[in-house]
Amino acid sequence: MITVKSIKKEYSKWDWQAGKHVPFTEEMTMFTLTTPGSTYAIAALESGYLCHVWYGRRTDDEDLSYLLRLGENPYTPKVNQRDMGTFMDTTPFEYPVFGTGDYRESAVRICDKNGGTSVDLRYKGYDITDEKPALEQKLEDCTVTLPSTFADKGKSQTLRIYLADAHTGVEAELRYTVFEGSDAIARSAVITNRGDADVDILRAMSAAMDFDSAEYDWHTFNGSWARERILERSPLHHGKQSVDSIKGESSHQSNPFVMLTSHNADERTGEAYGFLLVYSGNFTATAEVTQHKRTRFVMGINDMDFSWRLAPGAAFAVPEALMVYSDRGIGQMSRTFHDVIREHIIRGEYKDKPRPVLINNWEATYFNFDTEKLVSIAEQASKLGIEMLVMDDGWFGHRSSDNSSLGDWYVNEDKIKGGLKALVERVNALGMKFGIWFEPEMISPDSDLYRAHPDWAIQTPGMPLTQSREQYVLDYSRKEVRDCIYSQMRAILDNANIEYIKWDMNRQLTEVCSSKLPADRQRELWHRYVLGVYDLQDRLTRDYPHILLENCSGGGARFDAGMLYYSPQIWCSDDTDAIERLKIQAGTSMCYPASAMGAHVSDCPNHTVGRTTPFATRGDVALVGTFGYELDVTRIPEEDRNAIPAQIEKFKKFNPIVRTGDLYRLWDIFADNTFDAWMFVSKDKGEAIFTAVQVLGRPNCHSRLVRLDGLDPAARYTNDLNSEVHTGAALMNCGFIVDLQGDFRSQTVHFVKAE
């Protein structure tokens, strides 16, 4: 719910020249956004300054203006012009600008026709609608719809606040959306040049927030290839703490999701603020503790090496950010994000649909496969209940390793004898679906496409091109490049019954320069590249709505909400080891739902870490995700192969709860590496799936007592482990005994509400 109220307050200020208190009034417009558990308040002052008032626990009070403390020096712009610089550097601005006295992190910085970078945005007006508008970026040759939340008409409200700068003619439209029944708030902005000369946007953040305290912990999700989204937590300190990416994607090393929490916050208690950027390129998130021990937070496109030229009349769409507040711990914040992503980000046929159990041939064969090998895998897999075969890298051009043929998306018939259509028909005849791997954003130096169009690779003239995995990056800012790749993809997709695509991206951007952009607009390429990716994935999902798209970037380097707008799932990490996956999946689950996490059972010793774990444990860990197999089912031990039908049966039984229910993390794997436990509870609290993994055994008292969560305390639950019946209150307050002996052991228990 969004309310607007006009407020007039009487204040007094000590006048040093007069030697007495001077009365004054302040008129303002108060905007209050109310969700089931939070309140967000903004005030437009009489001077035109837009101030952040409050974000936190729900208040049901439409006049929180006292929190601005306008009667205190220096919060008096109306009567204290001589100290405006001091006012600017301490006021909690809603969308802070650069260059007029606020020396903290800014949300927007613009270069005018004279080279000046000062901007002064003042309030003009507002409107409220009962729908969620799309976020569109108009380019020279097309209009790209940026990924953002959506909602049925009447299921959300959107507040638009309009700001303007008289000096440059720049206007900013700030957008805020609240959703029916959700504690999530979506924020974005559109910056328009209403002046008569070009301006350059040098910074445009998606969210800015001023907190009245610095007593918070800063949580980021960092790592590397095969070690993504590992939680790091530290208390805020004076100065700036930040996390970012300048790789052209959200990256293995960082993620565009961060949290600020109270020092005492854990899964069940304390305050938690989560911020998620709905974007897949360079980003930054910074928390700055200021001179007065307050905190300013900003998040958006990384302004390192970024600018965007705005001609008169042109507009720039700032990517959306999602914010969630919880006063019931980190777990409740996570569940809110899970719901809003499942309901308002993920689209398409598979939005609410079970995903097929697939087997991917990558770790089974790498590049060493042909038609007969793939069919042999499919024949065995189909007998075990696996529903889809995915043909990974190596089927196109003359590719027999990772050093050629990217960009040549035609079938290598030396491998795929008889052609793709014949292979797919043989797989379909076994009762299985067929999927295929593409890396559409890349080009190999050894490819027909590169020999024909070397300028299509992103490159700086006169500099050697940096190779990574012996490949370059295509210039997706150019529509003719995207059109060429898409025409090749369409020829493949129209030739055979393909029902799944794994879209990969295996390197980052370097020498970022386009042969088509003028010199003074080259710094737009980082963002134009991402818009090009969005354009092509949008075309693909619209033209082939029945195809299940899974994004991937060397594993989890582009696991972000921007990608989830096009694909309902993302390959979580190239590290498929069950023990490594505990931290990877726990960190990912802090924001992203299990339904989005690509997770497979792989062979042992594991190809990444060399560890051998029980087949049952690998299956239990992969249940927290889309579930599938990454192995040669014709060569694994017979005992493991015979276990597959029961694993698939378990997945199909439990996946509706995992896919749509509420996740409760019951153990802190980041603090205790020896054990982990979690559970999923159905929305009606009628069923729950509990899983525990013992990483390392311990002597003597080897059992553990784990407090469950999310159950109905008054109901009685029976479990399928020993058929005992206990109240939800007992299981949550006293705990459930887990008795696992040995290393790398797991247990999954089904709880059902008793009649």
Residues catalogued as catalytic: 504, 574
Q: Are 462 and 528 in contact (CB under 8 A)?
A: no
* Amino acid letter, residue 6: S
Residue of 3, 49, 10 lying closest to 30 (CA atoms): 3
Distance between alpha carbon 180 and the CA centroid of its chain, in Å? 21
Distance between start and end Cα atoms, the chain: 38
Q: Which residue has the tokens 């339904």?
A: 595
- What's the token pair of residue 339? 């719901």
Q: Rounded to whole angstroms, what are the CA distances from 337 to 53, 86, 218, 493?
A: 24, 38, 18, 34
The CA-based diameter of the chain, rounded to the nearest angstrom, is: 95
Report how far residue 556's alpha carbon sits from residue 129's, in angstroms, rounded to the nearest whole number.
37
Q: Rounded to whole angstroms, what are the CA distances from 115 to 110, 111, 199, 308?
A: 9, 6, 9, 14
- Size (the chain), residues: 755
Report how far residue 324's alpha carbon sits from residue 154's, in angstroms, rounded to the nearest whole number.
21
Q: Is the peptide bond before 354 cis (omega within 30 degrees of 0)?
A: no
- What's the token pair of residue 142? 């097309």
- What's the token pair of residue 305? 């090496």
Report how far residue 625's alpha carbon sits from residue 390's, in angstroms, rounded to the nearest whole number.
17
Q: Please tell me whether residue 356 adopts helix, strand or coil conformation.
A: coil
Q: Please tell me whether residue 242 adopts helix, strand or coil conformation.
A: strand
- What's the token pair of residue 327? 């006063």
Residues 6 or more apart whose CB falls under 8 angstroms from that of 198 comprise 113, 309, 310, 311, 312
> Secondary structure of the chain: what % helix, strand, coil (to 5)?
20, 35, 45
Residues 6 or more apart whose CB falls under 8 angstroms from that of 104 comprise 89, 96, 288, 290, 296
